[in-house]
Chains A and B, each alone.
Chain A
Amino acid sequence: MPQEQPSSGTQSATPRLKLSGITKIYPSVVANDNIDLTVMPGEIHAVLGENGAGKSTLMKMIYGVVKPDAGEMMWQGQKVTIANPAHARELGIGMVFQHFSLFETLTVVDNVALSLPGKQDLRALSERIRQVSDKYGLPVDPRRIVHSLSVGERQRVEIIRCLLQTPKLLIMDEPTSVLTPQAVRKLFETLRQLASEGCSILYISHKLDEIQELCDTATVLRGGKVSGHCVPSKESPKSMARLMIGKDLPVCEHTQAKEGGEVLLKLAGLSHASDDPFGIDLQDLHLEVHSGEIVGIAGVSGNGQQELLYAVSGEECLSERFPVQICGTQAGRMSPGRRRRLGLCFVSEERLGRGAVPSMSLAENVKFGAGKRRRLVRSSLSDFKAARAFAAECIERYSVKAGGVFAQARSLSGGNLQKFIVGREIMQDPKMLVVAQPTWGVDVGAAAFIRQSIIDLRNRGCAVLVISEELDELFEMCDRIAVIAKGRLSPTKRAAETNVEEIGVWMSGIWPGVDATMDQARVQA
């Protein structure tokens, strides 16, 4: 551990890191424009900004992944040019990426070994991984292959990998999106402990409450430029939001749900064993979603959400018909295409490669999925004009920023592509909409817009099932909330009658009436 004295807020020590005039220009965009940033030893420094504000690019430059086009970087008073991430790690910089940088075909311990210098004794390393993961409440089995891990678990591996290197500066890029509220608190304790030991932390987030709770100082970025510095504890969420997005935070209009709608999605004892040896088996799930209401499913990622989504969408066929009932039809053995014809639309977790084909144009991307429902196909030939019109309408109504209907899906930013996919599914007038992670990695403005679109759809009588790892989002949108943990589904509770605390406890697998024989030690929370 570094030996500098802990932060006191007024020390005159050399900054751990000082950036001046850092600029990075990409072919189509200026990602960072003349950025200054100073981090003192033991300081927890927030970098606040919307998606696309340039936070990730800045961090990648500090970590040596990307080279700045201009500007200067001082590390503990010395001018440095960081050649690559290995060099950064040598200096004592660790980074937990938002998009994970793990080799999927290797095990957890292999991945960790690769980031450490020299040849590692894997058995001893596994033991160290276990110790660190116990200490910081980040359970993960070192022997597992990374591709079988959920998003949340992968992030744990990233965090553990950094902590093993006892860094002097730890960069955390949006680390809490996949943790339970309790786990977030635990992580914050860990981070505070690290800071008190002298480690500086750069904490990237767009979540204002977290930054207020955790960080000593904040630098706010907007459109690639520094739009302000502040001390979060002295600001209100409103004033920080204004710095971040230049206007007030948009709020969703959420009216009371209509009671007694018809049941459009029913899970009647859905059980399904996962083919993947590391997958989660769904165990006896019961749920009813009525027309005109939004039901949310909370949970830490990797607790059966993916398996549940596959079973509902039809991407994974069941052996029996009754467990999944869509609009009154037993649909357990139907293909996704047939379920769509019953009136089910579906927004998947992954946008590129599942919800959209990266190399195809938007006009082509509306065809798959919406092809049959919106008559973009006539007598088995494609109707290009109809598809173009549909795509153009979707782009306009959902204010998607794209270079027209012929732009490739991969050329869109994450938020815009998500708006496009949500728009495509909603414009098909579904009776039942299933949405996974509606706003993952989407900027604040777009997120509010997407939530509002879904609420509007509900008001028109659609039944909506939302699966999300962001509790705030679920509380903002949903009428009823249930929790999935270790492949089991809790009863639902009205959103108005519960709170983040209670749902947080449920997320660790404990809810009233839960099977007493359930092995709580194995819950993946």
Chain B
Amino acid sequence: MFKLEARPQASLAMRYASPAIAVVLMLIAGVVVFSALGRNPIEGFQVFFLNPMRDLNAVTELLLKATPLMLIAVGLAVGFRANVWNIGAEGQFLMGAVAATAVALAFQSSESALVLPTMVVAGAIGGALWAALPALLKTRFNANEILTSLMLVYIAQLAVSWLVFGPWRDPAGFNFPQTEMFSDAALLPMLIEGTRLNYAFILALGVLAAGYVFMERSYTGFKMRVAGESEAAARYAGYSAVTTIWIGLLAGGAAAGLAGMAEVAGPVGQLTDKISSGYGFAAIIVAFVGRLNPIGIFFASLLMALLYIGGEQAQQYLSLPASISKVFQGMLLFFLLGSDVFIQYRLRRSARQ
């Protein structure tokens, strides 16, 4: 018989090994999934995991896909560390995209260099405002932020639909639900010519660095961690719970809004009703796989981007359903949570009586 036994001290090694173990388990399970679907597992593995990294172009696509994920995840991590459960990054992403689009459409004929910075600011504010609603509801009425932030996602989705089907629909767009293409002044410049990788990637790295300093080095970040670990301890030390909630939600909202801006001003170049591919939800997994740590989030977002692109490839070359990406995402989170048990516990043979 085996039993789980609490470790006297949480295992640091396991804390960092756990995501790696989860990835390996996911790959093994992936082999089983491919076999069960009647595909050659080696070929499946090749298409799913190696194809997205085959050349420079593929790698830039990977980085492009990872950009919104790392932006959102690092913002969410600020809140998650403080037990502020913002589940609505998807909605904040959309509202950031809407705000940036509003600026782009308003200055469609302008060639000013200020259009893009204005869009960046608008995107961040748009996302932050959408996150301010759950923060207000939580601090004023003690409404659970998990529910309110999640429900606001659906409102944001409908708002985007209304805009692209209604007032913002491109008159020359054959009735497709999308806005006009942005002018060049409203598009992010390319980082590497000939690819789609743009400066949003640099922006994301900057946000990661800022997140690192804030969470690991700043006193405010420390206070928020104390609040996340123990409410009573934060109160004892005189840290404000209200401030923690506001910072936690606004950071997540602003970062998600930036990601939304980067998407409309980047690879897509317009607002459509399919602007997000579930980045806001996938980023939650990214944040946890990355241990709520900016460095970990960087690698986790690459992994998640790989799952996105690998899923598309599997669709294309192996004619597997699109949901294969979701299956892999789900397996990754599942195995991560399973491995995380061993941070606090260890497996022991129970003594025979």
Which A residues form the contact surface with B (CB < 8 A)?
27-28, 67, 69, 81, 313-315, 335-340, 346, 348, 350, 353-360, 364, 367-369, 371, 377, 380-382, 403, 407-408, 411
Contact = CB atoms under 8 A, between A and B. Distances in A.
Interface of B: 5, 7-10, 213, 217-220, 222-223, 225-226, 229-230, 232-240, 351, 353
A380 B232 contact: no
A354 B226 CA distance: 10
A277 B233 CA distance: 23
A348 B236 contact: yes
Nearest to B220: A380
A338 B239 CA distance: 10
Contacts of A336: 235-238
A81 B353 contact: yes
Contact of A338 (B5, B10, B238): B238
Contacts of A367: 222
B9 A407 contact: yes
A343 to B, nearest CB: 14
Contacts of A371: 219, 222, 237
Given A358-B229, A403-B9, A408-B9, 12 more contacts: A27-B7, A336-B236, A337-B238, A353-B230, A355-B236, A360-B225, A367-B222, A368-B239, A381-B218, A382-B222, A407-B9, A411-B9
B181 to A, nearest CB: 44
Nearest to B5: A27
B223 A353 contact: no
B202 to A, nearest CB: 24
B171 to A, nearest CB: 51
B229 A360 contact: yes
Contacts of B234: 368
A69 B351 contact: yes
Contacts of A411: 8-9
B236 A354 contact: yes
Given A28-B8, A348-B236, A357 B220 contact: no
A335 B240 contact: yes
A368 B239 CA distance: 9
A71 B238 CA distance: 50
Nearest to B7: A27
B220 A356 contact: no
Nearest to A369: B237
Contact of A368 (B8, B217, B218, B226): B226
Contacts of B5: 27
A348 B236 CA distance: 8
28 contacts: A27-B5, A27-B7, A67-B351, A67-B353, A315-B235, A336-B235, A337-B237, A337-B238, A337-B239, A338-B238, A339-B238, A354-B233, A356-B233, A358-B229, A360-B225, A364-B222, A368-B233, A369-B237, A371-B237, A377-B219, A380-B218, A380-B219, A381-B217, A381-B219, A403-B9, A407-B9, A408-B10, A411-B8
A359 B229 CA distance: 7
B245 to A, nearest CB: 16
B230 A357 contact: yes
Nearest to B348: A27
A419 B217 CA distance: 28
Contacts of B353: 67, 81
Contacts of B8: 27-28, 411
Of B217, B218, B236, the most chain A CB neighbours within 10 A belong to: B236
Of B217, B218, B219, B226, the most chain A CB neighbours within 10 A belong to: B219
Contacts of A350: 232
B232 A353 contact: yes
A261 B239 CA distance: 32
B236 A346 contact: yes
A336 B235 CA distance: 8
| Secondary structure type dominating chain A contacts | loop
Contact of A359 (B10, B217, B236): B10
B236 A313 contact: yes
Contacts of A315: 235-236
A354 B239 CA distance: 12
B223 A368 contact: yes
The 3 closest A-B CB pairs, nearest first, are A337-B238, A336-B238, A354-B232
A373 B282 CA distance: 42
Contacts of A27: 5, 7-8
A357 B219 contact: no
B9 A335 contact: no
Nearest to A354: B232
Nearest to B9: A411
Contacts of B236: 313, 315, 336, 346, 348, 354-355, 369
B238 to A, nearest CB: 3
A338 B353 CA distance: 58
A353 B238 contact: no
A314 B234 CA distance: 12
A255 to B, nearest CB: 32
B233 A382 contact: no
Nearest to B213: A381
Contacts of B238: 314, 335-340
B29 to A, nearest CB: 31
Contacts of B213: 381
A306 to B, nearest CB: 12
Nearest to A367: B222
Contacts of A81: 353
Contacts of A354: 230, 232-233, 235-236
Contacts of B10: 359, 408
Of A81, A315, A407, the most chain B CB neighbours within 10 A belong to: A315
Nearest to A29: B8
Of B5, B229, B239, the most chain A CB neighbours within 10 A belong to: B229
Nearest to B216: A382
Contacts of A355: 233, 236
A382 B219 contact: yes
A382 B217 contact: yes
Nearest to A26: B8
Nearest to A407: B9
Of B213, B235, B237, B351, the most chain A CB neighbours within 10 A belong to: B237
A313 B220 CA distance: 21
B226 A357 contact: yes
A360 B234 CA distance: 13
A353 B219 contact: no
A481 B150 CA distance: 55
A382 B9 contact: no
A355 B353 CA distance: 41
A335 B8 CA distance: 35
A505 to B, nearest CB: 34
Nearest to B236: A354
A348 B238 CA distance: 13
Nearest to A408: B9
Contacts of A407: 9
Contacts of A67: 351, 353
Nearest to A338: B238
A354 B8 CA distance: 20
Contacts of B235: 315, 336, 354
B9 A353 contact: no
Nearest to A28: B8
Of A348, A357, A368, the most chain B CB neighbours within 10 A belong to: A368
B237 to A, nearest CB: 4
A237 B225 CA distance: 48
Contacts of B351: 67, 69
Contacts of B218: 380-382
